[in-house]
Structure 1
Amino acid sequence: MKYRLLLLLAAFIWGTAFVAQRISTETIGPFSYNGIRFALAAISLLPLIIWQKNSLLVHPRKIPSHLSLPIACTMLGFVLFAGASLQQIGIFYTSVAKAGFITSLYIIVVPILGLFLHNPLRFSHIAGCIVAVIGLYFLSYHTTGQVLNFGDVLELCGVIFWSLHILLVSRLVRYYPGILLASGQFAVCSCFNFLAIAITGESLSWSMVLLTWLPLVYGGVFSGGIAYTLQILGQARVVATEASLLLSFEMIFSALAAFLILGETLTVRELFGCFLMAAGIFAAQVPSRIVWQGLHFK
């Protein structure tokens, strides 16, 4: 039970971090927020790396010559940068609750993209995907005839990168400890964001940082370093399927936090959409028979 509670706490931190992201949009730009946030996340993991330095020296598998740790972290960092940028910009145009539920669709998209990696497709994946897509329609449809607003589209595009990130992590952790990959990807992602600031000309000043210090600390130290550590500890004793289910409560916590802290509300139609999306996402985690063995390339 203790390890399941750790995973739920991680989901709670990630869900409430959506509120911090929304609050930050009032005082700082998206690339500036993510740049500082992920720099703090990388720094916050250093104590854990020092604590586990002896175990980090052991590699369970032979590392491919073309896949050094810097290359692995750069790959992860770029995908993380793309997903986090779309999420942070999108949350400016949509509600926190909708952003949380749409982002959680990665749990369904991962098995679909996994077909290209020879992963099997189960009946529960198909059923869950259909129900979640119907839920997305009810969540995002507006009486004006607009199905998705600009923020919803950005969050939906971000799901692709979150899914790719999960698949990349599942491959790379075979060769490198997860804590090193996490810290490295956070550092690389931060660099990409500061590069984006220079390219786009986004404003960044010390006064902006001071005004945003709480969302930055929560998004970086808590959502990055602490929640990631809780995930590592929890998944050490909880099977992957159950762990994914517990972590997917992130979407529910984001909706509750948005209501309690920001006063955001959802219409009956949107609530019904949230219910269907949650049902579809949970259904996708249920073990079921394999309907397709995945794609195989020669």
Structure 2
Amino acid sequence: MKYRFMLLITAIVWGGGFVAQRLGAECIGPFTFNCCRYGIGALCLVPLLLSQKQTSSPAVPKGLSLIKACSLLSVLLFAGSGLQQIGLAYTTAGKAGFITSLYIVTVPLLGLFFKHPLRLSHVIGCAVALWGLYLLAFHGGTSEPLNKGDMMQLAGVLFWSCHILTVSRFVPHFSGIHLAAGQFLGCCLINALALWIHGETLSLSSLTAAAPALAYSGILAGGVGFTLQILGQKKVPPTEASLLCSLEMIFGALGGVLFLGEWMTCVEWLGCLFMTIGIFAAQTGGRTVYRPR
């Protein structure tokens, strides 16, 4: 039970991260925020790094190294989190949480390229979740198109999905802690370059204003959340673990209502319900309808 509780806490912390990111977007630029956020996250993992030694699996593919693995993960993390952070300036924390959670539906679909089987539950879950997305992101079912923030969150789903699939390829060969710390550090450096190219201005007053959001995103959502996820997934089956972690979308929406006053219309809440059903359905077992060769 305690391991499931760890994953529930992880979902709560990650859900609150959308609120912190939304507040941070009001104070500093997106690349500055992510640079500081992942830098803090990497520092939080130093104690765990010091407590274990990196041992590579003897089955590591030729030409693959920890540095190459972390570099690729850093690029995917930079793209996904960058689109998410920029988009949060134009949409709500609740919508961002639900749209981002679509990666749970898209991962099985993209997994076809890695010869993963496609189950009937994936197809049904995807259809239901997309209907929910229409109700949620089209602002109460009107003909108004997706706004800029919603589209960025949706584009980010592709990179989050690729990131998850890539992690699953590297985890058998390298320590999860080393991969996490490496990708956090790499993402911090890429964001530092991006903020310089983009010309984002830094000031003590803006960093001070964003400090609480940065501390939450870096320490809690990054360091603590990731650590609890690792500990929890050791004893909880993958399907159940993903369901528990996906509750972050619900806690993100609740956090937006409680702390940001981001109330939704009845139709938008209905869209959230359909997305929740679709995402949960995609994680259940079922008959295989297609197996790539």
TM (norm. structure 2) is 0.97
Q: Aligned Cα RMSD in Å?
A: 1.0
Which residue of structure 1 lines up, in the alignment, with residue 70 of structure 2? 73
Partner of 2:222: 224
Deviation at 1:198, TM superposition (A): 1.2
CA distance in 2, matches of 1:61, 1:251: 38
On the 8 A contact 1:74/1:188 being kept in 2, the answer is yes
2:153 matched residue in structure 1: 155
Q: Percent identity?
A: 52
**Which residue matches 1:109?**
106
The aligned amino acid for 2:13 is I
* CA–CA distance in structure 2, aligned partners of residues 210 and 201 of structure 1: 19
Q: Are the counterparts in 2 of residues 137 and 147 from structure 1 also a CA contact under 8 Å?
A: no
Q: Give the structure 2 partner of residue 48 of structure 1.
A: 48
Partner of 1:172: 170
CA distance in 1 between counterparts of 2:58 and 2:109 reads 27
Q: Deviations over 1:47-103 (max 9, x none)?
A: 0111233xx33x334323311111110000000000000000001101110000000
- Within the alignment, does 1:200 sit opposite 2:203 as a pair? no
Q: Mean Cα displacement is larger for which, 157-166 or 203-212?
A: 203-212
What residue in structure 1 maps to residue 23 of structure 2? 23
Q: Equivalents in 1 of 2:281, 2:217: separation in Å?
A: 29
1:275 aligns with 2:273: yes
Q: Which runs of 4+ in 1 moved over 3 A?
A: none
What residue number does 1:141 align with? 138
Greater shift, 89-98 or 202-211, is seen at 202-211
Query: Cα distance, 1:145 vs. partner?
Result: 2.1
Paired letter, 1:21: Q
**Distance in structure 1 (CA, Å) of the matches to 2:255 and 2:110:** 31
Q: Distance in 1 between matches of 2:58 and 2:16?
A: 37
2: CA distance, partners of 1:151 / 1:213: 23
Tell me the matched-pair count.
292
Q: Which structure 1 residue ranges, 5 or more long, are not aligned?
A: none
Q: Is the 8 A contact 1:61 1:174 kept in 2?
A: no
CA distance in 1, matches of 2:289, 2:200: 48
Task: Tell me the SS of whatever aligns to 2:289.
Answer: strand
Cα distance between partner residues in 2 of 1:108 and 1:98: 16
Is the Cα contact below 8 Å between 1:125 and 1:284 reproduced in 2?
yes
Question: What displacement does 1:26 show?
Answer: 1.5
C-alpha displacement of 1:167 = 0.3
Taking the aligned partners of 2:50 and 2:264, their CA distance within structure 1 comes to 45
Task: Look up the equivalent residue of 2:213 and give its one-letter code.
Answer: P
What amino acid is aligned across from residue 200 of structure 1 in structure 2?
H
The residue matched to 1:212 in structure 2 has which SS? helix
Query: Partner of 2:243 in structure 1?
Result: 245
Instruction: Give distance in 1, aligned partners of 2:57 and 2:68.
Output: 19
AA partner of residue 70 (structure 1): I
| Partner residue, 1:93 | 90
Alpha-carbon distance, 1:144 to partner = 5.8
User: 1:240, 1:60 → 2: CA distance?
Assistant: 22
Q: Normalising by the residue count of structure 1, what TM-score does the alignment of the two structures yield?
A: 0.96
Which position in structure 2 is the counterpart of 1:184? 182
**C-alpha distance in 2 between matches for 1:144 and 1:178:** 44
What CA deviation, in whole Å up to 9, does each residue of 1:229-268 have, x standing for no partner?
Answer: 0000000000100000000000000011111111110100
Q: Which moved more, 1:73-82 or 1:194-203?
A: 194-203
Q: Find the aligned partners of 1:180 and 1:41 in 2 and give their Cα distance.
A: 13
SS in 1 for 2:214: helix
Tell me: CA distance 1:60–1:69, structure 2 relative to 1, closer, same or farther (3 Å). Answer: closer
C-alpha separation between the residues in 2 aligned to 1:134 and 1:63? 41
